[in-house]
Amino acid sequence: MSDPLKVGVVISGRGSNLQALLDACNAAGFPADIVLVISNNPDVEGLRRAERAGVATETINHRDFDDRQSFERALTASMERAGAEIICHAGFMRIVTAEYLAHWHDRLINIHPSLLPAFPGLDTHQRALDAGVKLHGCTVHYVREEVDVGPIIGQAAVPVLDDDSEESLAARVLGAEHQLYPLCLKLVAEGRVKVEGDTATIKSAEGADSQILLSPAH
Ligand code: GAR
């Protein structure tokens, strides 16, 4: 078996998706390993989760830098020192520049709490309720310059119930996120995701190329 893919995770806060990735990477035979967790905010729960899992952490506070590029260069330098081959944004709430994107091109993935291209940006759950959609969910995708755009690796859908509040819907989606992100990281680490232009295709375990529908049940 080849060496596990070395993954760096970037967070801004609570880190529940980071926890799902830590738990997955901890399981025997998982094809990825988290080598460093960086937060742009100090003293957040996500950093404590990484420490509890015995994973190296750093705080790189964007407020300490003159501009986005110098913040991102510090982030990239730390990730490279740690040997990260791929970066997962997990609740990282900063817009990134073209320079950072070019450096990590097709090596940078993100989780977003909606079924993209619906509801990019913030407040996705309230906007889904306001729009009256009956299905909502989450997306894991490669990051491109436009916010919340990029080749989609996987999506998980959940129902929107008539009596949902923003909180109840967010909780249902978050449960799906925690299943989807490790699954997508596994596919990437196994080299089964092929990016061509604006789309990503998943190679099935048997060797045939196929688009697969990911659901939390997988
Ligand atoms: C998650 O719902 C994630 O999808 C979202 O922030 C939350 C972070 O929670 N990310 C974005 O909105 C990115 N635009 P977590 O820190 O508990 O993983």
- Report the relative pairing of strands 57-59 and 32-39 from DSSP bridges: parallel
CA of residue 77 to ligand 1 center, whole Å: 24
DSSP for 175-214, written as a single string: HHHHHHHHHHHHHHHTT-EEEETTEEEEE-TTS-EE----
> Which stretches of the chain score pLDDT less than 70?
1, 206-218
Determine if ligand 1 sits within 6 Å of the CB of residue 15: yes
Ranges of H-type helices in the chain: 16-26, 45-52, 68-81, 98-103, 124-131, 166-189
Residues acting as catalytic residues: 112
pLDDT at residue 206, rounded to an integer? 62
pLDDT of residue 214: 54
Cβ–ligand 1 distance for 13 under 6 Å, the answer yes
Taking the C-alpha atoms of residue 201 and residue 72, their distance in angstroms, rounded to an integer, is: 29
List pLDDT tens digits, range 73-86: 999 999 999 999 99
Ligand 1 centroid – CA 90 distance (Å):
6
pLDDT at 212: 47
How large is the greatest C-alpha to C-alpha distance in the chain, in angstroms?
50
Amino acid, res. 138: C
Of 88, 87, 82, the closest CA to residue 17 belongs to 88
What pLDDT, on the 0 to 100 scale, is given for residue 2?
84
pLDDT at 7: 98
211 phi, psi to nearest 5 deg: -85, 130
Q: Is the CB–ligand 1 distance for residue 174 below 6 Å?
A: yes
pLDDT in tens, 23-59: 999 999 999 999 999 999 999 999 999 999 999 999 9
Q: Which helix (H) or strand (E) holds 13?
A: none
Which residues on adjacent β-strands are paired with residue 39?
Answer: 11, 59
17 lines ligand 1 (CB under 6 A): yes
Report the length, in residues, of the chain.
218
- How are beta strands 108-112 and 86-89 bridged, if at all? parallel
